[in-house]
A and B are shown apart, each in its own frame.
Chain A
């Protein structure tokens, strides 16, 4: 039971997450998002095995953003109860992020894409291109760093300010993009030479399925959200 979240169907997990993110957007009291954040955390603790250090690392930038949200809303807000709204919007950032992490940290990219293709009927052309992109990510990242370094070597002045880094991005982007165009063509030809046509008529080595547990997940989140609403309304 403890790895339940990891075994859910990724497409259903994603859609359920979407629904509650949207639902939350309609509430401006501080309690609903705060309770939701807490409840999602409990679900995550009970039903998944994740690296909590990673969870914290991913959460940190959003915590910073939430601080910015808080004081912006407080200073520039119009509502009567500015403090409540400001708190609500900051907690909303936490609730969104915890829901998102619930998905991100329990879903394997491969299974996610396979499920998009098998359950949500994403075109195989798109799905496999996405997989190719995912495989190339470390390669292109490495190239990005290398290009930046060797170009830096050629610049007469070695100033490394944030601004100069941003300004140099277009000259870094051109060789990176030119390389990406070549890689795209080579890989596409290699796939076609192995019989990939993009047709939906294909079999799958990894079959991704869904079963009743996926509906239990949707039901559980609905229950939690309703409880948050009721409790939030009383507080």
Chain B
């Protein structure tokens, strides 16, 4: 049986109107029925752009410049009516909070049907069928804003599937999910894919979560070798702890009393499933929750939210670092490798640079306890390595770090101690290695053991000595 192409790109190049050079060049690919592609590449290499070219949003949505040919089911893209391609190609995006426009799940599903002018009489039946097929019937009348990240991604997927597409594009669907939720999504999606034989393309930095789902790989862009970021501080050179930070917090109704002790010069990781209270704990310690009961034994606490740009109040990285009146501005700019962007607007630099700017500012303010909320979400391998270096740099200076993450590979590389949290109950500290080798504990906190990453953490303190 001859296998016909579902979709073919030949010599496609694309340039944004505001950029001097093209973001994609010489892209040629052929997709067949049931193909499962992984799309890889560092941030900014054009993976999302490729998706927008595939689903037909570009070049129109951004006035970009496109060359080459794009053929979908034997017909050039340009010959499709507006909105017609979306009946064939469905897309699920990365951010679970920016892809809905209606209040409830049912209405959101109906929105897809309304867009295709499906007669009202048929909507009921199609909504019911899609919900049954995706196992979401119980969510039919739920308000989308009240759903968890994982549930939102499933609803977004169901909304994409209701038109019975032939091709499904997933743009980092797991980036904001905890590892177990991500695994469950993968299983759920794989089962649907087998039944419908979709052609699938997935962008993901954490390919390991998909196990052996893919049968093809597209690699875009080149990995820039880490030249400026030399591993300056191996973890073994950390100074001996010179101080202990203690805190006790309680947020009525959300977080039960949690006591923590962070030693200067060490990194503590706080892990647990989405919605467990990780961010709440961090905010409570930072003093950002008015209703929290809080006892802390230092005032010099720094806090870096998941979006570090919330902190920015000036128009250059250098001013940002100097804002608090600290005198070691240049030292910290150098140490956190911000020299090249010191004059840039802090909002206009990369996500990793934003986070390092925030860290440098906190250090320059002589804040000795730093709290980081989800610094790893949506970061590629290169950015993670940069972050790791920055964190080691920070603790070498004697700060105590508390990092929220559910990336266990990352945790295994940086953590001196591990705190686990579930349903507002925190426990620990644990020795990281003992947690990774304890499947029951991992299961309980919906974590996934780190894979392959060698655990070279300096076990300075056994668990008992923390208390």
Contacts and interface: CB of A to CB of B under 8 A. Distances in A.
A202 interface: yes
A154 B101 contact: no
A62 to B, nearest CB: 29
A153 B288 contact: yes
Contacts of A192: 57, 61, 83, 86
Interface string B297-326: 000000101010111110000000001110
B59 interface: no
A153 B98 contact: no
B52 A189 contact: yes
Contacts of B185: none
A126 interface: no
Interface string B114-155: 111111100100000000000000000000110000000000
Interface in A178-228: 178-179, 182-183, 186-197, 199, 201-207
Contacts of B93: 186, 189-190, 193
B417 to A, nearest CB: 25
A122 to B, nearest CB: 15
B379 interface: no
Given A150-B288, A202-B115, A197 B83 contact: yes
A153 B102 contact: no
A197 B107 CA distance: 18
A146 B283 CA distance: 10
A131 B101 contact: yes
B311 A150 contact: yes
Given A193-B91, A195-B163, A150 B310 contact: yes
Given A139-B97, A153-B287, A194 B102 contact: no
A146 B305 CA distance: 9
B430 interface: no
A186 B361 contact: no
Nearest to A202: B114
B103 interface: yes
A231 interface: no
B110 interface: yes
A189 B57 contact: yes
B100 A203 contact: no
Interface in B266-307: 286-288, 303, 305, 307
Given A175-B312, A192-B61, A204 B287 contact: no
Contact of A151 (B55, B91, B311): B311
A179 B307 contact: yes
A154 B97 CA distance: 28
Given A110-B103, A156-B325, A195 B98 contact: no
B347 A186 contact: no
A153 B300 CA distance: 10
Contacts of B288: 146, 149-150, 153
Contacts of A161: none
Nearest to B288: A149
Nearest to B55: A193
B82 interface: yes
Interface in A101-131: 110, 128, 131
B257 interface: no
B101 A175 contact: no
A205 B113 contact: yes
Given A203-B118, A203-B120, A135 B103 contact: yes
Contact of A202 (B97, B98, B117, B309): B117
A194 B347 contact: no
Contacts of B156: 190
Contacts of B101: 128, 131-132, 135, 187, 191
Interface in B232-254: none
Contacts of A131: 101-102
Nearest to B325: A156
A207 B119 CA distance: 12
Q: Which of A128, A131, A189, A204 has the most CB of B within 10 A?
A: A189
Given A193-B55, A206-B107, A154 B313 contact: yes
B159 interface: yes
B415 interface: no
Contact of A135 (B117, B145, B287): B145
A204 B116 CA distance: 11
Given A128-B101, A146-B310, A194-B86, A156 B112 contact: no
A61 interface: no
A178 B97 CA distance: 16
Interface in A127-157: 128, 131-132, 135, 138-139, 143, 146-147, 149-151, 153-154, 156
Given A135-B101, A190-B98, A194-B86, 15 more contacts: A139-B145, A150-B303, A150-B310, A154-B323, A186-B95, A187-B98, A190-B100, A192-B61, A193-B91, A194-B160, A197-B115, A203-B113, A203-B114, A204-B114, A205-B113
Which 4 residue pairs spanning A and B have beta carbons closest together?
Answer: A205-B110, A190-B99, A195-B115, A195-B86
Interface of B: 52, 55, 57, 61, 82-84, 86-87, 90-91, 93, 95, 97-103, 107, 110-120, 123, 144-145, 156, 159-160, 163, 286-288, 303, 305, 307, 309-313, 323-325, 347, 361, 365
Interface of A: 110, 128, 131-132, 135, 138-139, 143, 146-147, 149-151, 153-154, 156, 171, 174-175, 178-179, 182-183, 186-197, 199, 201-207
29 contacts: A128-B101, A132-B101, A139-B145, A143-B310, A151-B311, A154-B323, A156-B325, A175-B310, A182-B98, A187-B99, A187-B100, A188-B61, A189-B57, A189-B61, A190-B99, A190-B100, A192-B86, A193-B93, A194-B160, A195-B83, A195-B112, A196-B115, A199-B82, A202-B117, A203-B118, A203-B123, A205-B123, A206-B107, A206-B110
